[in-house]
Amino acid sequence: MMESAGLADLWVEDWSGVENAGKIRPGRTVNNPNDVFSLWEKLTIIFPRVMARYGIGGIFHANESAHKIMPLYYDGTLGYSLVRGQKR
């Protein structure tokens, strides 16, 4: 898809797996995806934004979703990659 969109020099890096979670926030100790944002960031940035946009239901939905998705991340069902290319 990226090549057909005109990108060249594609570079793909697999960031799947808990052992790669630290790549998300270089310089921070990230042992699992819950560590990506600090408690302070969650309380002062993320929660207020979710509340403003979706209300208290958004907080509950995000928490419920995380409990469903995290096991899939840990068992390798879900993963993610960093893909980079240059426009020709």
Contact indicator for 38, 27 with CB cutoff of 8 Å: no
Residue 34: closest CA among 44, 23, 15, 21: 21
Copy the structure tokens of residue 1: 């898809």
**Spacing of C-alpha 1 from chain mean position:** 22
For residue range 15-61, what is the model confidence (pLDDT) as tens digits?
887 777 777 778 877 777 778 888 999 999 999 999 999 999 999 99
**Has this prediction a pTM greater than 0.85?**
no
What residues contact residue 26 under an 8 Å CB cut-off, 6+ apart? none
Mean pLDDT of 48-77: 90
How buried is 21 (Cβ within 10 angstroms: 0-12 exposed, 13-18 middle, 19+ buried)? buried
